[in-house]
């Protein structure tokens, strides 16, 4: 039987042996629950959904149908990595939905942050529902719910993302194999399941993705500038030993231009803001002291390699008064 709640005396999963025992137990539970029926999973490529996918592929193979929706707001290389890891390496039943134009067309001209979030959330449910309706025989919905999600929704801190978003006639039974695990345990299980390190240990990434890092109305060129500058920042942090040490780091490109010079000519272009923060509970955060030389190097790369950027600024603001994200 799947457990609804984490037993008080449950041993923290910290070793490959404990992870393997958990995996073996969950495989049995899932096989009993699901039988020969099909299970649907929205696979974003984030840690929780990726670990659930890898576990269910072991348990029920092609009975699991993964749907990866590319909404155009993912980081550089993410959709490609989902396809490589799950379709090519793990031989999963993976449906890749290119919904980039759909999302960006809906978001065009929308400036209000909350409206942007709502559009992204609703459109996601719509695309996912459309894909689900095309499939026959789905009876279960898998989710990457983890134990802190349950605790936080019980404490009224945040609404837990669950099947509540789907239309009423799609009342799938839930499969939540990592429901009683803390995040660090999910990662130990992910290691044991053979997920790539960069997938299993990635920094937190908001559901609305790069959309909240492109403040104001999203345009394709500015979104590309966010994506490319983020890729450079991540590459440089990894090369310089900051990956895994700094909690979260990213770039933001607001809709604001200033005068600069490129190749001896006037360049009226955007500024790219770098944010790098540390926290334990995300309720408050402090700003990482990034070495000056590294910041100069990152600035040089971003201003020379990313079209449309002529300045790089560093955000020194802790939370509060700032939030982590800009929107």
Residues 244-273 touching ligand XMP, rule: CB under 6 A, are 248
Question: Taking CB under 6 A as the rule, does residue 296 contact ligand XMP?
Answer: no
Contact present, 38 and 137 (Cβ < 8 Å): yes
Question: What's CA 112's distance to the chain center, in Å?
Answer: 22
* Helix, coil or strand: residue 254: coil
Which is nearer to ligand XMP, 261 or 283 (by Cβ)?
283
| Nearest approach, Cβ of residue 313 and ligand XMP (Å) | 18
3-state helix, strand, coil in the chain (%, to 5): 45, 20, 40
- Verify binding: residue 325, ligand XMP, rule CB under 6 A: yes
**Residue the block writes with tokens 């104001």:** 216
Q: Would you count residue 287 as binding ligand XMP (CB under 6 A)?
A: no
User: Which residues, in sequence order, are bridge partners of residue 287?
Assistant: 277
User: Looking at beta carbons only, is 117 or 301 nearer to ligand XMP?
Assistant: 117
160 binds ligand XMP (CB under 6 A): no
**Pairing assessment for the beta strands 286-287 and 265-278 based on DSSP bridges:** antiparallel
Q: Check residue 77 for interaction with ligand XMP (CB under 6 A).
A: no
65 vs 120 by CB, closer to ligand XMP? 120
What is the number of helices (H) and of strands (E) in the chain? 10, 10
Q: Which two tokens stand for residue 250?
A: 């990213």
Give CA separation, 270 vs 73, 256, 260, 281, in Å: 19, 6, 10, 32
CB of 208 to ligand XMP, least distance (A): 5
Q: Binding residues for ligand XMP, how many (CB under 6 A)?
A: 10
> Interface with ligand XMP includes 208 (CB under 6 A)?
yes
Least separation in angstroms between residue 31's CB and ligand XMP is 30
* Stretch of 88-96, 127-135, 234-242, 318-326 contacting ligand XMP, by CB under 6 A: 318-326
Q: Which residues bind ligand XMP (CB under 6 A)?
A: 204, 206-208, 248, 282, 319, 323-325
């Amino acid at each position: 039987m799947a457990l609804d709640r984490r037993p008080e005396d449950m041993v923290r999963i910290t070793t490959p042996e404990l992870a393997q025992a958990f995996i073996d137990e969950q495989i049995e539970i899932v096989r009993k629950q699901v039988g020969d029926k099909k299970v649907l999973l929205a696979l974003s490529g984030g840690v929780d959904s990726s670990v659930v996918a890898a576990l269910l592929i072991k348990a029920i193979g092609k009975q699991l149908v993964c749907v990866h929706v590319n909404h155009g707001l993912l980081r550089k290389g993410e959709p490609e990595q989902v396809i490589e890891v799950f379709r090519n390496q793990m031989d999963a039943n993976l449906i890749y939905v290119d919904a980039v134009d759909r999302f960006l067309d809906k978001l065009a001209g929308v400036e209000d942050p909350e409206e942007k979030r709502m559009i992204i959330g609703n459109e996601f449910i719509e695309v996912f529902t459309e894909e689900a309706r095309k499939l026959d025989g789905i009876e279960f919905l898998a989710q990457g719910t983890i134990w802190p999600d349950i605790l936080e929704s019980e404490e009224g801190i945040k609404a837990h993302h669950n099947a509540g978003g789907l239309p009423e006639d799609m009342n799938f039974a839930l499969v939540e194999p990592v429901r009683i695990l803390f995040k660090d345990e999910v990662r130990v299980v992910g290691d044991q399941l053979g997920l790539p390190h960069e997938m299993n240990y990635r920094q937190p990434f908001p559901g609305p993705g790069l959309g909240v890092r492109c403040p104001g109305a999203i345009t394709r060129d500015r979104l590309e500038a966010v994506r490319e500058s983020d890729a450079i920042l991540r590459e440089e942090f990894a090369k310089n030993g900051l990956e895994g040490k700094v909690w979260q780091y990213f770039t933001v490109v607001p809709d604001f231009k200033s005068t600069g010079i490129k190749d001896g000519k006037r360049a009226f272009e955007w500024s790219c803001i770098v944010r790098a923060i540390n926290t334990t509970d995300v309720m408050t955060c402090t700003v990482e002291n990034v070495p000056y030389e590294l910041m100069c190097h990152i600035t040089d790369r971003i201003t020379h390699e990313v079209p449309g950027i002529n300045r790089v600024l560093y955000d020194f603001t802790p939370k509060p008064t700032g939030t982590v994200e800009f929107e």
